[in-house]
Structure 1
Amino acid sequence: MSLRNSSFLLLVLFYACGTQAPQMLNLDTAKKLIQNYYEGGLFDKECAEAINVGIAEIEKLKLSRNSAVVFDIDETVLSNYEHTKELGFGYVYDLYEKWLRQGEAKAIPETKRFYNWLVQKNIKVIFLTGRQAGDFASTKKNLLNEGFTNFDTLIVRSEQTRKIPAAEWKAIERERLTKNGYEIIACIGDQWSDLVGGYTGIKIKLPNNLYIIE
C-alpha cells in the first residue's frame, strides 16, 4: 500500500440540517462499531454479496485461455485487520512494514472462495499490490501459506514507481499485462484506486472501513 487516509474512518461525522455544527462520534464508540462490523459477520456478508455479483457477471463471458482476474492484496486477499486493531485502529509505517515482513496475515474467506472458483474454471490469477519490492518474498510466502498456490504472477512496486499514485500505477501495470497477452476480465479490490484507469473488466469492490488510499 502507499498513501493512507490518516482519519481511518474513525472520526465519523453526522451532519445535521441547516447551519448546525456537525456532531462528532466518540472515538471509542467508532472503534467499537468498526470491531463489531469486522467481527460480527457483516464484513464477510458484504464481501460475499460483492463477489457473488462478480461471479454471476463472469459466468456470462466467453472465456479464453488467457482470461485473467487481477487481485489487489491488502484487505482484498489478505487481511491486516488484526494488526490494525492492535494499534487501536491506527497506522504506523515502520510497524506496518514489520508486520508485512512477518507474513502472517490471514486470507479473507470470501476472496479465497472466489479464488478457488477461478482456479477451477482455469481462469488465470494475477496479484497486483502496492507493496514494495522488499516485501515480495514475505508476500509470496504469505500467499502460499494461505492457500493461494496457483497464480500467474505477483507484481509489486519497484523503487522507480513507488511515488506514482496508486490508481495510475495499477492502470499502467494492467495495460502492460494486456499488451503481454492477458485478457483481463475482472479486477477485485478494496479501494477504488484498484478499479479505475482502464483495462479492468468487471469491477468487484470489497468493503474497507479501516482506511482509504487516494
Structure 2
Amino acid sequence: MPRARLSARTRTLAVAVVAASLGATVYGVGVAGAHDSVPRSDKQIPNLTDVVSEIKAYYGDTVDASGEHFASPSSNYAKQVAGIEAKAKQYLAHEVGHGGRGGHAAKPAIVLDVDDTSLNTYNYELEVGFAYTPASNSAYIANKNMDAVFGMEKLTNWAADQGITVFWVTGRPEAQRADTVRNLAAVGYKPAADAAHLYLKNAASPPSYLPCGSTCTTIEYKSGTRKHIESLGYNIVGNFGDQYSDLTGGYADKSFKLPNPMYFLP
C-alpha cells in the first residue's frame, strides 16, 4: 500500500522491524503496531544501517546480474509467510465447509491488500533505499512487475476454486489500476482483478459509501470499503494485510497479518 507521508515512514522503519519480530500471524483487537514514544537516549534507537542489514538477511537478499534484489524462497521471511498461509488455508477450508461464521448464507469472500500482501515490494524498497516517493513508486510499477508474495497467489487461487470471491482493497491510487491488474495477472493471480473486485483510492472522485471522502485515513478507507463489500451480500471470512491499519475496523470474520519489517503505516 502506498506510503502517505515519507517522514512518518522513515521515522518508523526501525520500529517496524521490532514489531515484525513479534511474529504475530493472526491479528486481534488491541494488537499494537509501531509506537510514538520519544527515545531518551540513542541507545534506545536501533542503528539504521544494522536494521537494513537485518531486513536483507531476513528476506534472504539475492541480487541478479542486472542488480535487481529479490527475496529468497528459502528465507526466514518465506518460511514465516508459509506458516501464516497454512493456518489461513485450514481456517478457510473449515469456514467454507460450515457456511461461514454463524452458518449464514452470505457469499464467502476474502479481502487482500496489494503491496507486501499480494505483491512483494522488496526490490523497489532496495532500489530506492527505503525512501518511498509517489513518483519513484509510480515509475517502478509502470515499468516492472513485483513478484508475488511467496505462496499468496496459490492460496488466493485455491480460495477462488473453493467458491470464495476474491477482492483486493489497496491504498494505491486509481491511476495505478491498469499496472496493478497487469502485475497481479503476470505473477499468477487468477481471480479477476476487475473494477468490481479491485478497489483503489480515488481522491478525485471518492465513492459515496465512504463518508470521509478524500480525507479518509487508511483505517477508514479500508474498513469502509469492507463494509461496502459486505453490503453487496458477501461475508468476508478472511482479511489479509501486512499493516495493522489494513486489518482494523471490523467487517471481517478473521484477519491475517503478513510480516513486513520494511515500513509501518498508521
The 2-side partners of 1:26 and 1:174 are apart by 38
The aligned counterpart of 1:122 is: 163
Residue 216 of structure 2 corresponds to 164
Distance in structure 2 (CA, Å) of the matches to 1:8 and 1:92: 16
| Pair 1:75–1:20, CA change in 2 (3 A) | closer
Tell me, yes or no, if the aligned pair for 1:77 and 1:111 is still in contact at 8 Å: yes
Kept after mapping to 2: 8 A contact 1:185/1:201:
yes
Kept in 2: contact 1:72–1:190 (CA 8 A)? yes
- 1:189–1:204 Cα contact (<8 Å) kept: yes
Change in 2 beyond 3 A, CA 1:111/1:50: same
Instruction: Letter of the 1:27 partner, please give it.
Output: L
- The gaps in structure 1 that reach 5 residues or longer are 14-18
Matched, 1:21 2:41: yes
Instruction: Return the match for 1:132 from 146, 167, 173.
Output: 173
Contact 1:128 1:170 in 2 (8 A): yes
Superposed CA offset, 1:69-116 (max 9, x none): 000000000011101101222222211121122351111122122112
Match of 1:73 among 92, 96, 114: 114
Q: How many residues align?
A: 209
Residue 190 of structure 1 aligns with which residue?
242
C-alpha distance in 1 between matches for 2:265 and 2:14: 15
Partner residue of 1:43? 77
Give the match for residue 34 of structure 1: 55
Contact 2:81 2:150 in 1 (8 A): no
Contact 1:54 1:202 in 2 (8 A): no
Contact 1:8 1:210 in 2 (8 A): no
Q: Which runs of 4+ in 1 moved over 4 A?
A: none
Please tell me the residue identity of whatever aligns with 2:230: T
Could you say if the C-alpha distance between residues 20 and 69 of structure 1 is closer, same or farther in structure 2, counting changes exceeding 3 Å? closer
2:240 and 2:256 in contact (8 A); partners too: yes
On the 8 A contact 1:175/1:199 being kept in 2, the answer is yes
| More deviation, 198-207/60-69 | 60-69
How large is the Cα RMSD of the aligned pairs?
2.2
User: What residue ranges of structure 2 are gaps of 5+ in the alignment?
Assistant: 19-38, 61-71, 100-104, 207-212
Distance in 1 (CA, whole Å) between partners of 2:149 and 2:172 is: 18
Q: Supply the AA of the counterpart residue of 1:154.
A: L
Shift of 1:3: 2.2
Q: Does the alignment pair 1:154 with 2:175?
A: no
* CA distance in structure 1 between the partners assigned to 2:229 and 2:40 by the alignment: 51
Q: Is the 8 A contact 2:235 2:252 kept in 1?
A: no
SS in 1 for 2:216: coil
Supply the distance in 1 between the matched residues of 2:185 and 2:92 (Cα, whole angstroms).
Answer: 25
Choose the corresponding residue for 2:11, options 2, 7, 21.
Answer: 7
- Distance in structure 2 (CA, Å) of the matches to 1:187 and 1:35: 27
Mean CA deviation greater in 135-144 or 89-98: 89-98
Tell me if the contact between 1:178 and 1:199 (Cα under 8 Å) persists in the aligned partners. Answer: yes
Contact 1:8 1:89 in 2 (8 A): no
Structure with the higher strand share, 1 or 2: 1
In the alignment, is the contact (CA less than 8 A) between 1:191 and 1:205 conserved in 2?
yes
| 48 and 93 in structure 1: CA distance in 2 versus 1, 3 angstrom threshold | same
1:194-213 matches, cutoff 5 A: 194-213=246-265
